[in-house]
Amino acid sequence: MPKQFILDLVADMTLEEKAMQMTQLAPEFFYHKEPANLTGPFRQWRFEEDQLACMGSTLGPSGASYLRRLQEDYLAVSRQKIPLLFMSDVIHGYRTVYPIPLAQGCSFDDALVEEAAAATAKEAAAAGLHVTFSPMVDLVRDPRWGRVMESPGEDPYLNGRMAAAMVRGYQGTDLKEKGRIAACIKHFAAYGQPEAGREYNTVDMSRGVLRDFYLPPYQEAVKAGAAMVMTSFNLVERVPATCNKLLLRRILRSEWGFKGVVISDFAAVDETMNHSVAADPEEAARKCVQAGLDIEMMSGVYASALKKLVEEGRLAESEVDECVIRILELKDRLGLFENPYKDADEKDEKTLLLCKEHRALSRKLAREGMVLLKNNGILPLDGSQKIGLAGPFADTGCILGGWHCEGKVEEAVTLRQGMEESLGRKLPVGMSAPFLYTERHDVPDDVCGALDALSDSQVCVVAIGEPQWETGEASSRTNLRLTPHQEKLVHALKAAGKQVVAVLFTGRPMEIAPILEDCDAVLQVWFPGTEGGRAVSDILFGQYNPSGKLAMTFPRNVGQIPVYYNHYQTGRPLVREDDYFTSRYLDCPNSPLFAFGYGLSYTEFTCSGLAASPDGTQASVTVKNVGARAGETVVQLYVRDVSASVARPVKELKAYRRIALEAGEKAAVSFEVTDDMLGFYNEEEEWVHEPGWFDLFVGLDSERVEQVRIYRK
């Protein structure tokens, strides 16, 4: 039951005030300025001064001084003195930038991800923000889609654990606590599977696939207590998520018991008319409110239509009140009625933003999320070697990744700075001109200059990848190869007799097969954040032993996409390469270039002796470090239902554990096998556990596994 003071506020509101409480605008509009990066249909909407005096929340800008002034100015003209909510996209750090979420997924380290989210919340809260549009837990299988960088990866179990960790980190146990902000799960639902990997495109899938793969991560974030949910742009079963009763009423609120606030994405309420499910703003507003959408972001449909709809009897005022109550309850949970400025504090900003502790945490998480894809023994580097550095990411701070909020490229540690700091000497550098925003297609062709600059180098570290602004929203691609001049650089250095170590700065899995043979080592570092240069250097020189595992499969080429490990088995699987009438390609193997869960180390681990308890409730395996140095690895448990009422995936990740072992050390690793791990949604959409035979797989990636069969009643 809502608190009485909230019910009193709602009872005192006019319909216009309720509509504006349900409307989110950029703060510039309050000061009668037009925001710089307007998208979609927003330019057609205009608001009167009395409307702006009762809007409910703002999007975007931050900074303690600015937001304190905005709140003060707003409350001075607000009739009911209901504080504004300040929200922004604090995706992987505020001023201290952490590695992109895809890299965080590769850490398989929930505790560290939670710690980074908590540090992010401290910075964002000190800057005056109340809500972050994070975590983004859309399951992703198509690297052509630019927003894969925002997701923890392709696996529902991993994504769910990462989502819950981020929610806990942002929110703690009490949103009123200093340094806490509300988490907003996005994008509900299935936004990560647009047709052809093209941003904002149609999503079409069966209800079973939606239930099996795409919904579980959101549900885990809801279980963790997320305060908000953002709807996605796409259709789900031919209805836009923004007004989708199946998603918002039945699944989110009824089945999962979500009590918090639901917000649209940017102008998505208006876009229901583009989807041809609403003829005009009135119909769009009615459908969205009746579906349970509380806040409209950056369009004026609610503001223009709700009063008329209620007065004409086409929408019950109680349905509007339901939305407003949830918004006010969130403001109450944050303590804004007692302190409308919450944690906004310029002194705290100076202390917390980019502080030593947060930079150290960024460096640690960046290292854990980097994945060693290939190593012929050249790594770790010996500082006494003649080492050269080349490539567009050799000496640039543009390694933060998309959505880096208030991060500044000039504050990022470049690879050159990190390596020279480790070596204590200057490095020869060639072909280091970075990507320019105005020249998106390639970097300058200065391979000859690079060969001259690195002529005396035995080992060439080649820092290559994709520009950070070509990842994130509206950054879909059909070509995932490195640019021609970057590939040319790798081939030329190898042809010159150099040992080539490729360091890949990307926001997605790229098509790297064309350069793989000419690389002696390949280290996937993603966009590693503020401390990226030091983190990469730590791995290159062996100060940190890589332990990251791929959270997303690497394709051999774009034609394989989507390629992912937890697929359903076809009736004609490829067993032998000479089997013709099977599910296969003529020109490419079915297998990926690098599988989910894959990642090398500077030592070697083995898994052996997998055994299950007689009742099938426990599985144990012996993990041994058979190499010459200490290291960490991630032990992974997968399950397959041998015979079920509906087809089940060939493997599903159900548990994992990071362990550290000294050279020669071994340890027994045990997993509990629960009914929940073996359950699924049947044809009637009921969650069931069917007795029968199950295969358990334990290993160090999704392909190198030990297998045992169990029977569960």
Q: pLDDT tens-digit profile of 434-474?
A: 997 765 689 999 999 999 999 999 999 999 999 999 999 99
CA–CA distance, 690 with 415 (Å, rounded to integer)? 52
Query: How confident is the model over 476-495, as pLDDT tens digits?
Result: 999 999 999 999 999 999 99
Alpha helices in 370-483 (DSSP H): 415-423, 447-453
Predicted local confidence at residue 310, as pLDDT = 98
Query: How confident is the model over 29-78, as pLDDT tens digits?
Result: 888 776 655 555 445 677 888 899 999 999 998 899 999 999 999 999 99
Which amino acid, residue 652?
Answer: E
Which amino acid, residue 276?
Answer: S
Share of the chain above pLDDT 90, in %: 93
Predicted local confidence at residue 622, as pLDDT = 98
CA–CA distance, 167 with 53 (Å, rounded to integer)? 32
Predicted local confidence at residue 38, as pLDDT = 54
- On average, the pLDDT of the chain sits at 96
Predicted local confidence at residue 46, as pLDDT = 77
Q: Tell me the CA distances in angstroms from 587 to 557, 571, 584, one per residue in order.
A: 11, 21, 9
Let me know if 265 is a catalytic residue.
yes
The alpha carbon of 651 is separated from its chain's Cα centroid by a whole number of angstroms, namely 23
Alpha helices in 424-551 (DSSP H): 447-453, 484-495, 513-516, 532-540
The tokens for 613 are 């308890």
- Residue indicated by tokens 């009739």: 79
Query: Residue 262: which of 284, 286, 239, 232 has the closest Cα?
Result: 232
Alpha helices in 385-531 (DSSP H): 415-423, 447-453, 484-495, 513-516
Alpha helices in 206-355 (DSSP H): 207-209, 216-223, 245, 268-271, 281-291, 301-311, 317-333, 346-352
Low-confidence ranges of the chain (pLDDT < 70): 34-44, 438-440
Predicted local confidence at residue 438, as pLDDT = 64
Q: Tell me the CA distances in angstroms from 284 to 47, 268, 418, 641, 710, one per residue in order.
A: 19, 10, 53, 43, 52
Model confidence pTM above 0.75: yes
Query: Residue 161: which of 107, 212, 207, 96 has the closest Cα?
Result: 107
Query: Residue 519: which of 372, 368, 370 has the closest Cα?
Result: 372
Domains, the chain, ranges and CATH?
4-348 (3.20.20.300), 362-553 (3.40.50.1700), 605-712 (2.60.40.10)
CA–CA distance, 43 with 56 (Å, rounded to integer)? 20
Strands 131-132 and 182-188 turn out to be parallel
Query: Residue 233: which of 209, 203, 276 has the closest Cα?
Result: 203
Are 24 and 299 a contacting pair, CB within 8 Å? no
Instruction: Reduce the DSSP state of residue 26 to 3 states and report it.
Output: coil
Q: Which of 138, 142, 212, 265 is catalytic?
A: 265
